[in-house]
Amino acid sequence: MKHRESEHAAGPVLRIEKRTQEMRGYMSWGIRAGALIAALLVCAVIIWAIVRINPLRVYAAMFQGSFGTKNKMWVSIRDICMLVCIGVGLAPAFKMRFWNIGAEGQILVGGLAAAACMIYFKNLPTGVLLLMMLPLSAIAGGVWGFVPGVFKAKWNTNETLFTLMMNYIAIQLTAYFVALWENPFGSNTVGVINGITRAGWFPEILGQKYLLNVIIVAVLVVGMYFYLRNSKQGYEIAVVGESENTARYAGIRVPHVVTRTVTISGAICGIAGFLAVAGASHTISTSTAGGKGFTAIIVAWMAKFNTFVMVLIGALLVFLDKGSIEIATQFGLSDHVSKMLTGIILFFVLGSEFFIEYKLHFRAANKEVAK
Amino acid sequence: MKKILAIVLVLCLAFVCAACNTGAPNDDPKVDDPKIDGPGTEAPFKVGVILVHDENSGYDLAHIEGVKAAAAELGLAESQLIFKYNIPEDETCYDTAIDLAEQGCNIIFSDSYGHQSFMMQAAPEYPDIMFVACTGDTAMFQPVDNVANVFPYTFESRYVSGVVAGMKLKELMDEGLVTEPHIGYVGAYPYAEVVSGYTAFFLGIRSIVPEAYMDVQFTNSWYDPIAEAEAANALIARGAVIIGQHADSTGAPGAVEKQREAGKEVYSVGYNVSMLAAAPTAALTSAQNNWVVLYKATLEKALKGEPIPTDYAAGYELDAVMISELGPSCAAGTAEKVAEVIAAIKAGILHVFDTATFTVNGETVASFLAIDTDGDWVGDTGEAIENGIFIESVLRSAPYFSLDIDGITKLN
């Protein structure tokens, strides 16, 4: 780290300065890892102070609960895939500085399309059915992205509010179809669709129920990485995100790029709905998205839109989620304890970004301590 | 920088040492002695329980206490029970059932209606393990043998809680405080389990006040304190003086108590737990299930290796249902009347759904097919009415009384 000035004169005790140079990769990752360790230490102190249980055993139980057996590992992998898929979907919109808060709705309509195929075409062979469900889910999600995209491009409407409102429409639409498809009658749930025939369920590949989820998401992760990094469209997204005026000056058709990008974003979230319905729950309800559309915002941001890093962040969040169920069972620690731990860990990890973006100067030491 | 690094390292070291030392006394109950064995089995007998909420919900608390008490009576140790809390009614339930199976559970219970289709999904993968979906209704149609449903005769305790409400209503009318015998009911979902419950409650009231009538408002959720409170307020605004409920929160009793503070003459009958804490002056009683009876009967058979019936239900006869302690607002003579009614139910003299006590569209019902086999949700087999009595929860454990009787109006 370079010292750009030496100050001996009396100034404020602490001075915050934005870093002018980007930190080297290993440094910033060191800070993030340090933050995670610090968070685990703070959690450990709190766990011990409140419930007098050895924190290491709590962490071990959390790990056991999320990755402890082969089955648990696959379930966790499935859930990581879901989060990463949505994160990948959000990345292009966010990179363009388009605040797509509507992933929940896009997942739901994608899931609805998938569930409709499973219910109305249950006699088709699963392969054909899946090939039909994938594009239909993407189209449904795409429409949910296209509408706010067009309004933004043409009339510069506020996309945060617009996409948020689209969520409510999707939730009501789902509630309507759940009532239409309910099974048993009056229960207000759809139940497991095609439980006996398994029509439209992801087939086992190499004996693994969730391998197809991994394959689909892996394709999306790699595809989106290179799309954003190496393609012309990816470049256009970056320029529009940095400055619309620059983009216009460079001859980029901004409204066109906005609409196209948001539609792609929605379509991938729609595919996440397809994964949720055909690849995991085999049912549909208003809680099918279950807040994952919002959680994935954290995934996308923390990963700085690097789709490979999203896998790591997704794993951390799933670990916390599954771990919380296990510690409730093993130690009788209620839901609130695990929510507290999750809060502390996210606070530290997100907070560490401050030290990556800014330098701290102390007057006395005249040294940066951020690292 | 170095100093800070040093401090962090020292802290780490101190923490690890502390952790190693202090951890020892609080031993994990799960790593303990493998000596506790179930009778006649090599591996310890293990029971898995999947709960939709945790002990903060009255419904789940009743299940937790029921399993624990049943296990204790059968000599099972706490370490042989594995509870999974806050499991939503989605694929998480399937994942959890598989996880419990892998942990060596011999029998797995789930406590919420919506869990059942995911239990059914897990069952064929572990044919040696018994999957019991409490309050479920589809086990009888499953091609696999290792799924079962259990359900208490909640309609009996609802009838008795209706008698308590009827006594209060009569007192209010005799004193001239109330002129219209108007009852309100906050229901969860409009299907048979709920219909059976509110009809029983209503018939209990009508056994005391024959001219009573009732409005039902559904919330479309098992647990939604705000919606339940709103429904109670809406019913009171329509003129209801007693609010019954088939929903799991204290939303409705809390709202009734507030209306009382504002000067309204209204009372509440709850469900699952005594509502006296939430509504000290409004709560009359609550209909309750005594799950320990059902869990004990099922676990006993599992321990002995006997087959577990696909459907199992029990009521007052085996003390599987009850009502909670009577509140201070109850009418005089309520306790005696309740004891009399319970004795009559136990003796088989009083039948909750006696077709002589209700009509549908002005006519007495003579026949009702309870079981649907072709998936259109209309019963096509299983005559439920015998000798003028609608026999509930015998053809299958989950309730099937779904008649819209005269005197009850569904508001939504």
Reported ipTM: the value is: 0.76
Spatial separation of the C-alpha atoms in residues A183 and A186, rounded to whole Å: 8
Q: Are residues B282 and B389 in the same domain?
A: yes
pLDDT tens figures, A192-247: 888 778 888 888 888 888 999 999 999 999 999 999 999 999 999 999 888 888 98
Q: What chain B residue is nearest to A79 in terms of C-alpha separation?
A: B92
A202/chain B closest Cα distance in angstroms = 14
- Domain ranges in chain A with CATH number 1.10.3470: 75-319
Does A53 sit within 8 Å of B88, measured CB to CB?
no
Question: What is the mean pLDDT of the segment spanning B230-257?
Answer: 93
What DSSP designation does A280 have? I
Asked if B58 and B272 touch (Cβ cutoff 8 Å), the reply is yes
Does A52 sit within 8 Å of B26, measured CB to CB?
yes
Does A71 sit within 8 Å of B117, measured CB to CB?
no
Assess if residue B12 is contained within a domain: no
pLDDT exceeds 70 at position B375: no
- DSSP assignment of A75-134, as one string? HHHHHHHHHHHHHHHHHHHHHTT-----HHHHHHHHHHHHHHHHHHTTTS-HHHHHHHHH
Q: Are residues B241 and B369 in the same domain?
A: yes
- Closest by Cα among B405, B112, B154, B407 to B286: B154
Assess if residue B80 is contained within a domain: yes
> Which helix (H) or strand (E) element contains residue B340?
helix B334-347
pLDDT exceeds 50 at position B17: no
N-term to C-term CA, chain B: 68
Does B192 sit within 8 Å of A54, measured CB to CB?
no
Domain CATH for B399: 3.40.50.2300
Q: Are residues B53 and B89 in the same domain?
A: yes
Nearest to A188 among B11, B118, B189 (CB): B189
A55/chain B closest Cα distance in angstroms = 7
What DSSP designation does A205 have? B
pLDDT exceeds 80 at position A65: yes
Asked if A27 and A368 touch (Cβ cutoff 8 Å), the reply is no
Question: What is the mean pLDDT of the segment spanning B194-220?
Answer: 94
Assess if residue B19 is contained within a domain: no
Q: Is B88 in the A-facing interface, judged by CB distances under 8 Å?
A: yes
Question: Can you give the pLDDT at residue A10?
Answer: 59
Chain B, window 213-232: residues with a beta carbon less than 8 angstroms from a chain A beta carbon: 220
Higher pLDDT, B80 or B16: B80
- Phi-psi label, residue B77: left if phi above 0, alpha if psi -120 to 50, beta otherwise: beta
pLDDT exceeds 80 at position B292: yes
Q: How far is CA A283 from CA A115, A141, A194, A214, B94, in A?
A: 7, 18, 9, 20, 12
The pair of three-digit structure tokens given for residue B35, joined into one six-digit string = 């000596």
Q: Are residues B256 and B312 in the same domain?
A: yes
Last residue of a domain, one of B134, B166, B184: B134
- Closest by Cα among B289, B295, B291, B297 to B270: B289
Assess if residue B244 is contained within a domain: yes
Q: How far is CA A6 from CA A3, A357, B2, B210, in A?
A: 7, 21, 20, 93
Spatial separation of the C-alpha atoms in residues A271 and A267, rounded to whole Å: 6
Chain A residues with CB-CB distance to B143 below 8 A: 196
Chain B residues with CB-CB distance to A191 below 8 A: 117
Residue B270, domain extent: 154-294+300-410
Q: How far is CA B119 from CA A345, B39, B62, B99, B113, in A?
A: 34, 26, 21, 12, 11
- Provide the mean pLDDT of chain A: 86
Spatial separation of the C-alpha atoms in residues A28 and A7, rounded to whole Å: 26
Q: Are residues B65 and B119 in the same domain?
A: yes
Does A189 sit within 8 Å of B30, measured CB to CB?
no
B147/chain A closest Cα distance in angstroms = 15
Nearest to B189 among A75, A186, A325 (CB): A186
Sequence-separated (6 or more) residues with CB below 8 Å from residue B336: none
pLDDT exceeds 90 at position A86: yes
Nearest to B23 among A56, A283, A329 (CB): A56
Nearest to A330 among B11, B28, B120 (CB): B28
Question: What is the mean pLDDT of the segment spanning A327-340?
Answer: 79
A261/chain B closest Cα distance in angstroms = 32
Does A189 sit within 8 Å of B114, measured CB to CB?
yes
Q: Give the lowest-confidence range in A37-41, A72-76, A149-153, B396-400.
A: B396-400
* Structural domains of chain B, count: 2
pLDDT exceeds 50 at position B25: no
pLDDT exceeds 90 at position A106: yes
pLDDT exceeds 90 at position A25: no
Nearest to B137 among A184, A328, A367 (CB): A184
Mapped onto helix, strand or coil, the DSSP state of residue B269 is strand
- Closest by Cα among B193, B322, B177, B323 to B247: B193
- Provide the mean pLDDT of chain B: 86
> Which helix (H) or strand (E) element contains residue A189?
none
Does A367 sit within 8 Å of B82, measured CB to CB?
no
Spatial separation of the C-alpha atoms in residues A330 and A328, rounded to whole Å: 6
Question: What is the mean pLDDT of the segment spanning A56-68?
Answer: 88
Interface test with A, best of B90, B103, B125 (most A CBs within 10 A): B90
Interface test with A, best of B20, B21, B92, B100 (most A CBs within 10 A): B92
Sequence-separated (6 or more) residues with CB below 8 Å from residue B153: B313, B314, B315, B316, B320, B321, B392, B393
Interface test with B, best of A50, A192, A322, A324 (most B CBs within 10 A): A192
Q: Are residues B308 and B393 in the same domain?
A: yes
Mapped onto helix, strand or coil, the DSSP state of residue B187 is strand
Q: What chain B residue is nearest to A281 in terms of C-alpha separation?
A: B91
The pair of three-digit structure tokens given for residue B353, joined into one six-digit string = 């759904």
CATH fold label, A75-319? ABC transporter involved in vitamin B12 uptake, BtuC (1.10.3470)
Chain B residues with CB-CB distance to A74 below 8 A: none
Could you identify the residue written with the tokens 């998936």?
A: B375
Assess if residue B148 is contained within a domain: no
Question: Can you give the pLDDT at residue B96?
Answer: 92
- pTM higher than 0.80: no
- Closest by Cα among A87, A92, A83, A269 to A170: A269
Ranked by mean pLDDT, which of A195-204, A265-274, A347-356 comes out on top? A265-274
Question: What is the mean pLDDT of the segment spanning B113-139?
Answer: 89
Q: What chain B residue is nearest to A75 in terms of C-alpha separation?
A: B95
Does B118 sit within 8 Å of A192, measured CB to CB?
yes
Interface test with B, best of A77, A201, A283 (most B CBs within 10 A): A283
pLDDT tens figures, B165-190: 999 999 999 999 999 999 999 998 88
A37/chain B closest Cα distance in angstroms = 9
Q: Is B27 in the A-facing interface, judged by CB distances under 8 Å?
A: no
Spatial separation of the C-alpha atoms in residues A159 and B104, rounded to whole Å: 51
Q: Are residues B161 and B251 in the same domain?
A: yes
Residue B387 pLDDT grade (very low, low, confident, very high; cuts 50, 70, 90): confident
Q: Are residues B195 and B319 in the same domain?
A: yes
Assess if residue B23 is contained within a domain: no
Last residue of a domain, one of B134, B167, B189: B134
Chain B residues with CB-CB distance to A75 below 8 A: 95, 99
Question: Can you give the pLDDT at residue B29?
Answer: 41
Q: How many CB pairs under 8 A join A and B?
A: 108
Spatial separation of the C-alpha atoms in residues A213 and A130, rounded to whole Å: 12
Number of H helices, E strands in chain B: 10, 17
Question: Can you give the pLDDT at residue A204?
Answer: 84
Assess if residue B47 is contained within a domain: yes
Q: Are residues B129 and B180 in the same domain?
A: no
Q: Are residues B227 and B328 in the same domain?
A: yes
Q: Is B44 in the A-facing interface, judged by CB distances under 8 Å?
A: no
Q: Which ranges constitute the DSSP H helices of B74-105?
A: 91-102
Of all residues in chain B, the percent with pLDDT exceeding 90 is 57
Interface test with A, best of B4, B53, B99, B119 (most A CBs within 10 A): B99
Q: Is B31 in the A-facing interface, judged by CB distances under 8 Å?
A: no
Q: Are residues B127 and B159 in the same domain?
A: no
Spatial separation of the C-alpha atoms in residues A112 and A286, rounded to whole Å: 10
Chain A residues with CB-CB distance to B8 below 8 A: 38
Spatial separation of the C-alpha atoms in residues B409 and B218, rounded to whole Å: 11
pLDDT tens figures, B132-157: 999 888 888 777 889 999 999 999 99
Chain B, window 344-403: residues with a beta carbon less than 8 angstroms from a chain A beta carbon: 377
Q: Is B104 in the A-facing interface, judged by CB distances under 8 Å?
A: no
Q: Are residues B194 and B107 in the same domain?
A: no
Assess if residue B146 is contained within a domain: no
